[in-house]
Amino acid sequence: MELITNAGLVVKLVLLILAYFSVTSWAIIIYKTLVIQRATRDSARFLDFFWARRRFDVIAQGLDDFRHSPLAVLFRDVHQELLQNRRAADGGGEGLDADLGEQDRVARVLRRATTSETHRLEKYLAFLATTGSAAPFIGLFGTVWGIMDAFHGIGKSGSASLAVVAPGISEALVATAIGLVAAIPAVIAYNHFVNKVNVLIGEMDNFCQEMLNVVQRLPRSRQER
């Protein structure tokens, strides 16, 4: 603790920035762990539920049980789109895309929902990447500044003994150490979460293809039932 309290103003500022990076990184790590864990678990459960029911209206009624699954979001958006199309067809109304085929509209809805869910899953991961790459450099800056300060003091005192040089360098090196402490968990967590999100994105792509096939196969009159 003395190393931190005895450090110069710039080094203290660097340590404060690094502390912010570290606290926020760990908050994101905890938060994303919960989010991705729930998304993975609910997606697996939703797929079982989806293929067991096979009726869109029944599936739509049970969606509240899979609130964290991105696949459930895709299904919900597609189902709402189909309902709106049906209402428009029954009422004889003309929407902006009334002349386009239903398949194309469903495909567009799926693409939009997939993009939205991917964005949600990847949210805050950029901060982890930034911490992993920038924190060591910020710490290094603090160290360089601290060593410059220490050498300036040595030059003023006129003594170059180890007792004079060592404390300043030791205080300066704390910044690099804390930078690494902030960066290492962030890099590990970032790689882990990116891998998990890629798995979920793959599942969403597969589900999109399956949904398009199902929509194409089912007769229009049965889609609402």
Stretch that binds other proteins, among 20-28, 51-59, 146-154, 156-164 (CB under 8 A): 20-28
Q: Which position among 6, 76, 107, 144 is part of the footprint of other proteins (CB under 8 A)? A: 76
Distance CA 133, CA 126 (A): 11
Q: Which two tokens stand for residue 12?
A: 């203290």
Backbone angles phi, psi at 5, to 5 degrees: -70, -30
- Taking the complex as a whole, how short is the minimal distance between the CB of residue 148 and other proteins, in angstroms? 26
Kindly state whether residue 115 participates in binding other proteins, applying the rule CB under 8 A: no
Q: Which two tokens stand for residue 85?
A: 């199309």
Of residues 116 and 194, the one with the C-beta less far from other proteins: 116
- The amino acid sitting at 50 is F
Q: How far is CA 171 from the centre of its chain?
A: 35
Residue closer to other proteins by CB (options 102, 165) is: 102
Site for other proteins contains 34 (CB under 8 A): yes
Give the separation between CA 69 and CA 203, rounded to whole angstroms.
Answer: 11
Instruction: Kindly state whether residue 99 participates in binding other proteins, applying the rule CB under 8 A.
Output: no
Q: How many CB atoms lie within 10 A of CB 4?
A: 13
Q: Does 62 bind other proteins (CB under 8 A)?
A: no
CB 212 within 8 A of CB 103: yes
Considering CB under 8 A, how many residues would be counted as binding other proteins? 39
CA distances from 121 to 68, 71, 126, 127, 165 (A): 10, 12, 11, 13, 49
Q: What are phi and psi of 14, to 5 degrees?
A: -60, -40
Of 10, 88, 125, 169, which lies in the binding site for other proteins, with binding defined by CB under 8 A? 88
Nearest to other proteins of 54, 112 (CB atom): 112
The answer to whether 77 contacts other proteins (rule: CB under 8 A) is yes
Return the residue of 12, 45, 116, 130 that touches other proteins, per CB under 8 A. 116
Least distance in angstroms from the C-beta of 126 to other proteins = 15
**Of the two residues 55 and 112, which places its CB atom closer to other proteins in the complex?**
112
41 is an interface residue for other proteins by CB under 8 A: no
Count of CB atoms within 10 A of residue 188's CB?
13
Query: Do residues 154 and 172 touch, judged by C-beta distance below 8 A?
Result: no
Kindly list the residues in this chain that would bind other proteins in the complex (CB under 8 A).
1, 19, 22-31, 34-35, 38, 67-68, 70, 72-74, 76-77, 80, 84, 87-88, 91-96, 109, 112-113, 116-117, 120
